[in-house]
Amino acid sequence: MLQVNNLHYTKSRHVILRGLSFKIPTHRTVALLGENGVGKTTLMRLISGIIEPNPHSDIMIDGIMGAKIKAHLSYVSTLDWANNYDRVSDIVDYFKMGYPDFNEKRMNELIKFMRIDRTRRIAKLSTGTIEKLLIALTISRDTSVYLLDEPFGGVDVIARKKIMQSLLHWLPEEATVLISTHYIQEIENLVDDAIILKDGRLLAYESVEKIRKEEGLSLEKYYTQLYIEDNGGRE
């Protein structure tokens, strides 16, 4: 379970998040939606402890707070830290050494399914392959919470399908998953709920099936409608 209470974040006097609160139970996959610059990546970086929130903001995983939560969440947003001469197999070795919960068997299955060449240098990988490798590394750990920041950005439609199938096949069943994306239509059938951010606050946190049942709307239409309403009718 991932719980966020009264999360505030200010960066050089610019308010990015203004009192965000939500709770995602186990065995739940949630889409994190919002326009560019709304703070989706900031929220993930805050949860993962890469950056610090303002005082009196709480982030909890399964009741644990502070630096200890890092062991209970999986988030790999970049391979910028890798050396130029590192190959895919080296990265896998770093994870094997660095994380006791790293599931090597799962990683091997994912590398095979996504057709990633282990012997390739990281510096030579295409954007799409880097994205696939980031996903594979993220979901190869056995943790409570998984954070995925725009897993479909810059990848073609076939890679996107592979990534979606990987998430469905290999994410542990009881996982709490938060996926930020602009591909609302594509993500809609994959997630249970959607969190919609606007102007640094929570505009909605709703079940996708409920939106269809009660509003008769797809997630994308619901999202657009909420944004327009919140703008006072202007697009």
Partner 1 sequence: MEFSSNQPIYLQVATWLEQQILEGKYPIGHKIPGVRDLAVHLIVSTRTVQNAVNQLVTSGLIITKRGQGNFVTEDATKIDNIKLNKKMRITQEYINEIMHVAQAQEIPDLVANAMKEYEGARARRNNVTG
Which of 186, 181, 227, 175 shows the shortest CA–CA distance to 204? 227
29 near partner 1, rule: CB under 8 A = yes
Q: Tokens for 216?
A: 């008769």
Which of 198, 192, 207, 200 shows the shortest CA–CA distance to 225? 198
Write the interaction track for partner 1 spanning residues 9-28; mark x where CB under 8 A is met and - where it is not: ------------------x-
Strand, helix or coil at 11?
Answer: strand
Q: What's the min distance (Å) between Cβ of 190 and partner 1?
A: 6
Q: Which residue(s) pair with 206 in the sheet?
A: 194
Which of 186, 125, 178, 121 shows the shortest CA–CA distance to 152? 186
Distance, in Å, from the CA atom of 98 to the CA atom of 68, rounded to the nearest integer, reads: 15
- What phi and psi values does residue 140 have, to the nearest 5 degrees? -85, -5
Of 94 and 170, the one with the shorter C-beta distance to partner 1 is: 170
Site for partner 1 in 88-107 (CB under 8 A): none
Of 165 and 231, the one with the shorter C-beta distance to partner 1 is: 165
Q: Tokens for 226?
A: 């909420």
Tell me the torsion sign for CA atoms 189, 223, 50, 150.
Answer: positive
115 near partner 1, rule: CB under 8 A = no
Residue 18: which residues within 8 A CB-CB, separation 6 or more?
8, 199, 200, 201
Interface region with partner 1, contact rule CB under 8 A, candidates 40-48, 56-64, 135-143, 187-195: 187-195
- The bridge status of strand 2-11 relative to strand 14-24 is antiparallel
Q: What's the min distance (Å) between Cβ of 26 and partner 1?
A: 12
Q: What's the min distance (Å) between Cβ of 181 and partner 1?
A: 14
109 near partner 1, rule: CB under 8 A = no
DSSP 54: P
Interface region with partner 1, contact rule CB under 8 A, candidates 38-46, 53-61, 102-110, 190-198: 190-198
Of 97 and 157, the one with the shorter C-beta distance to partner 1 is: 157
Single residue of 23, 112, 124, 169 touching partner 1 by CB under 8 A: 169
Site for partner 1 in 195-234 (CB under 8 A): 208-209, 212-213, 216-218, 221
Interface region with partner 1, contact rule CB under 8 A, candidates 76-84, 131-139, 165-173, 196-204: 165-173
Q: Tokens for 193?
A: 């709920």
157 near partner 1, rule: CB under 8 A = no
Contacts with partner 1 by CB under 8 A lie at 27, 29, 161, 164-165, 168-169, 173, 189-192, 208-209, 212-213, 216-218, 221
